[in-house]
Chain A
Amino acid sequence: MIHHLKRSIIILGKEQASYPVFLHIRNATTTVDKLYEDHIPTNFIQKSFLSVGSALTSITDPRRHDAIAVLGETTGYYALKNIYNQMLKDSEGGKIIADKPRINSKTVDINKLAAMPHDSLGHSYWQFLSVNEVTPDSRLPVRFVDNQELAYVMQRYREVHDLFHTILGMPTNMLGEVAVKWIEATQTGLPMCISGALFGPLRFRPKQRATYINKLLPWTLRTCRNAKPLMTIYFERRWDQNIQDLRNELNIETPPKI
């Protein structure tokens, strides 16, 4: 029985991938069954092809958001596990795992956010969405994660990315994205974030590089060191919280203007 339990996480009675599937050579061509809607079961060989191919595609054509998404899903197994465990240990994170809330236009009332006080989290998020002309629906569903809980963690990561931008006060240009990637990389450990943080600055023009080195990077690195984990924050219960209070709570300094 113990052997059986060690082999797999039994989550509500369903067996899911828990140990690295590639440890046994025979498992390189084995897939799990379909676990959730949009799930595409893939084996190790397919995942390695997908990660290499999508990495090349995302470097050569950064507009391919689906390639970046696939890269994150296929390489993120260990990181997602760590985030999941971290969330379970935290009380607020545990509530997120239990409720599994989603952020899309059906679950979040944008108009209600607009009506909130000016310096609240909700209003700032609404401002961010309207200024950058994005909707919370623009995130692709998770397809290649072979574990229902970890797939939710990945989906949550994608959906709160815009909220990270809002809290950190970073715009959606190259500089802002790299800063958010740094903080996500240190907090989540996702390989896709790490490579984004390291290789993103290679595309900077000289002026951007100057701003990056002089103003942005010091603040970013201090935030990486000091900030509390952002994935464990239950944003849906904090829409009316003052954004400066939230930043103080999370040890985030006032962001530089870029």
Chain B
Amino acid sequence: MKGCLKQNLLNMLKINLNLGSFLNSQIVRRVSNTSSLFHTPKIMGNWSAVPSYKGNNLFIKSLQNQSENYCSSTQKTLDSEQTHFGYETVSKEEKTERVHSVFENVAEKYDLMNDVMSGGIHRLWKDYFVDRLHPTVNIKLLDVAGGTGDITFRVLQYIRNELGETSNYPVDESSKLLNYEKDIYSDDKVKEEDRKKCKVTVCDLSESMLSVGRERALTLGYNEDIDWVCGNAQELPFPDDTFDAYTIAYGMRNVADIPKALSEAYRVLKPGGRFMCLEFSLVENSLIRSVYDLYSFQLIPVMGQIIAADWDSYQYLVESIRKFPDQETYKLMIEEAGFRNVLYENLTFGVTAIHSGFKI
């Protein structure tokens, strides 16, 4: 008897639940037919599909390590004219335009947001990157997507350190004392001439980023010759065989057509020139990756909203990191562009990777 009762109750429950969902769907159909009772013009925008309230639990998703968050090769599943803009699929022209507008919006708070998002670690990454580049005193460097000048200023500082200049402010030529010192130490004269040979060109798609960079150069005291050029990494406005080194820090994932940017890099470098790229990459360790994903998707857009009043740009940032090729795939792409001796090095468990190749 008891078992029978239990069975009956269970059956009733099942029927109720089924009935509930059945009636629910009936309500949907009925209300959508009667336009007079609840006439709601679609003022609030497009109605999305009926959502399921079991919801999107990002915490669980990140623990399950869903591979849809990452793809090892961005190019295989797309047309030749299409690329990714975060998790959206767009045409290549559109990506360039949208990237341009993202950086116009974030330029003012770009450096502050970098510090907040990475806890200041991005400075260490960039210091290490320039250290690895080991710029020589008379280098001709092209810094692509280097808008606010982080890599540029570090390279100039590195060169100053090489020359033994400790202050940030360059030597004042009209100062008599310094001229006297220069006469005594003839070595300094040679170094001074060498330093004048060093030239850094900064190329960026966004004029706002370049103007922030110019202001920073003034406040930080880098009055050396820096060329600030507005241009597209896919079509560099420079002649062939011009530069000793090409650096691109955190810019390659914003480029719509990566092979094209790589072949442009190959074109403008002198034979023997070095290509160096600093970019967010794949974290191998799955536990660390889940923490990293959780932090990225939960907190970074929130910080973007609070500090820069821009949720969407930072949502794009964290999605574009996931869509960028992993270390090995990117290495193959660089080799395909013609570079040789391509190596990569992971920083911070693979959060960032440095790729380096030579035009030989």
Nearest Cβ distance between residue B337 and chain A, in whole angstroms? Answer: 38
B19 contacts the other chain (CB 8 A): yes
Bound CA–CA A16/B52 (angstroms): 9
Within 8 Å by CB of B40, from A16, A29, A67, A100, lies A100
Which B residues between 214 and 254 are near A, CB-CB below 8 angstroms? none
Within 8 Å by CB of B17, from A1, A32, A36, A100, lies A1
Closest to A142 in B: B44
Asked if A99 and B58 sit within 8 Å, CB to CB, the answer is: no
Nearest Cβ distance between residue B29 and chain A, in whole angstroms? Answer: 8
A23 contacts the other chain (CB 8 A): no
Asked if B21 and A15 sit within 8 Å, CB to CB, the answer is: no
Asked if B58 and A102 sit within 8 Å, CB to CB, the answer is: no
Asked if A12 and B40 sit within 8 Å, CB to CB, the answer is: yes
Which B residues between 263 and 277 are near A, CB-CB below 8 angstroms? none
Asked if B55 and A27 sit within 8 Å, CB to CB, the answer is: yes
Bound CA–CA A143/B312 (angstroms): 11
Which of A46-54, A75-83, A173-181, A237-245 participates in binding chain B?
A: A46-54
Within 8 Å by CB of B53, from A15, A36, A98, A155, lies A15
Nearest Cβ distance between residue B34 and chain A, in whole angstroms? Answer: 11
Nearest Cβ distance between residue B185 and chain A, in whole angstroms? Answer: 51
Task: For A15, list chain B residues within 8 Å (CB).
Answer: 50-53
Bound CA–CA A5/B50 (angstroms): 16
Task: For B27, list chain A residues within 8 Å (CB).
Answer: 10, 13
Asked if A4 and B21 sit within 8 Å, CB to CB, the answer is: yes
Asked if B305 and A50 sit within 8 Å, CB to CB, the answer is: yes
Closest to B297 in A: A46
Task: For A49, list chain B residues within 8 Å (CB).
Answer: 299, 302, 306
Asked if B59 and A29 sit within 8 Å, CB to CB, the answer is: yes
B64 contacts the other chain (CB 8 A): no
Task: For A10, list chain B residues within 8 Å (CB).
Answer: 24, 27
Bound CA–CA A64/B19 (angstroms): 50
- Given contact pairs A8-B53, A32-B53, A35-B51, A13 touches B24 in the complex (Cβ within 8 A): yes
Within 8 Å by CB of A50, from B17, B45, B46, B302, lies B302
Interface residues on A, range: 35 or more
A33 contacts the other chain (CB 8 A): yes
Which of A37-45, A214-222, A227-235, A248-256 participates in binding chain B?
A: A37-45
Task: For A43, list chain B residues within 8 Å (CB).
Answer: 58, 298
Closest to A5 in B: B20
Within 8 Å by CB of A53, from B41, B49, B298, B306, lies B306
A120 contacts the other chain (CB 8 A): no
A26 contacts the other chain (CB 8 A): yes
B32 contacts the other chain (CB 8 A): yes
Task: For B45, list chain A residues within 8 Å (CB).
Answer: 36-38
Between A2, A8, A50, the greatest number of chain B beta carbons within 10 A of the residue's beta carbon is seen for A50
B39 contacts the other chain (CB 8 A): yes
Asked if B53 and A29 sit within 8 Å, CB to CB, the answer is: no
B309 contacts the other chain (CB 8 A): yes
Task: For A127, list chain B residues within 8 Å (CB).
Answer: none
Bound CA–CA A67/B22 (angstroms): 43
Bound CA–CA A12/B30 (angstroms): 9
Task: For A64, list chain B residues within 8 Å (CB).
Answer: 309
| 0/1 interface trace, chain B 282-319, chain A, CB 8 Å (1 if under) | 00000000000000001101110111010100000000
- Given contact pairs A4-B24, A10-B27, A70 touches B55 in the complex (Cβ within 8 A): no
Which B residues between 48 and 92 are near A, CB-CB below 8 angstroms? 48-53, 55-60
Could you show 26 A-B contacts with beta carbons less than 8 Å apart? Answer: A1-B19, A8-B53, A13-B25, A13-B28, A16-B51, A29-B60, A31-B55, A31-B58, A32-B53, A32-B56, A33-B48, A33-B51, A36-B45, A36-B47, A36-B48, A37-B44, A42-B302, A43-B298, A46-B299, A50-B305, A67-B306, A67-B309, A100-B41, A102-B43, A143-B311, A148-B44
Q: List the interface of chain A (C-beta within 8 A of B).
A: 1-5, 7-8, 10, 12-17, 26-27, 29-38, 40-43, 45-46, 49-50, 53-54, 57, 64, 66-67, 70, 98-102, 143, 148, 151-152, 155
Of all A-B residue pairs in the complex, the 4 with the closest CB atoms, nearest first, are A37-B45, A13-B28, A1-B20, A33-B51
10 new A-B contacts, CB < 8 A, other than A1-B17, A29-B59, A38-B45, are A12-B38, A13-B25, A14-B51, A15-B53, A43-B298, A46-B302, A57-B306, A64-B309, A67-B309, A152-B44
